[in-house]
Amino acid sequence: MKQKVEADKAPKATGPFSQAIISGNLVFTSGQVYLTPEGKLLEGTIEDQTHQAMKNLQEILKAAGVAFSDVVKTTIYVTDMANYGKINEVYGSYFSDPFPARETVCVKELPLGAKLEISMIAFAKGKPQNVVN
């Protein structure tokens, strides 16, 4: 069985996908770019954009009843590896040891012309919060 997660303080899913899905004890987020909750791409530095993507993920995880401390795996997609260090510094500020497993993949392009996209898998210990059956 799977349950849909809806976070009011994160950008709405605009295609045939959910912000996140809970299956069993796992929460799978969709990839998040640096859209504001209103659905506009955030302008600014790559650090600002990384913070926005992480804030979106934080709201989605919260709606599912989990936090960054419950994240076991992340994937980061970037369009320019020259930004890796700056993205990594911001990303790392949201976690503590033991850090989640992760890969970073450089791709040609991302949706909406974004420079980065991040997705996560978290372990849900208790009952999910804002889910839709």
Whole-structure pTM value = 0.92
Burial 86-123 (b: 16+ CB within 10 A, else e): ebeebbeebeeeeeeeeebeeeeeeeeebbbbbbbbbe
Of the chain, the percentage scoring pLDDT greater than 90 comes to 88
- Write out pLDDT tens, residues 80-101: 999 999 999 999 999 999 999 9
Predicted pLDDT at 14: 81
The CATH number of the domain covering residues in 2-132: 3.30.1330.40
Q: Cα 34 to the chain's mean position, in Å? A: 10
Q: Is the pLDDT reported for residue 64 higher than 90? A: yes
Work out the pLDDT band at 133, boundaries 50, 70, 90.
very low
* 122 vs 29: CA distance, rounded Å: 8
Among the residues of 8-126, which ranges form H helices? 46-63, 84-92
Q: Indicate the average pLDDT of the chain.
A: 93
Helix (H, G, I), strand (E, B) or coil at 66: coil
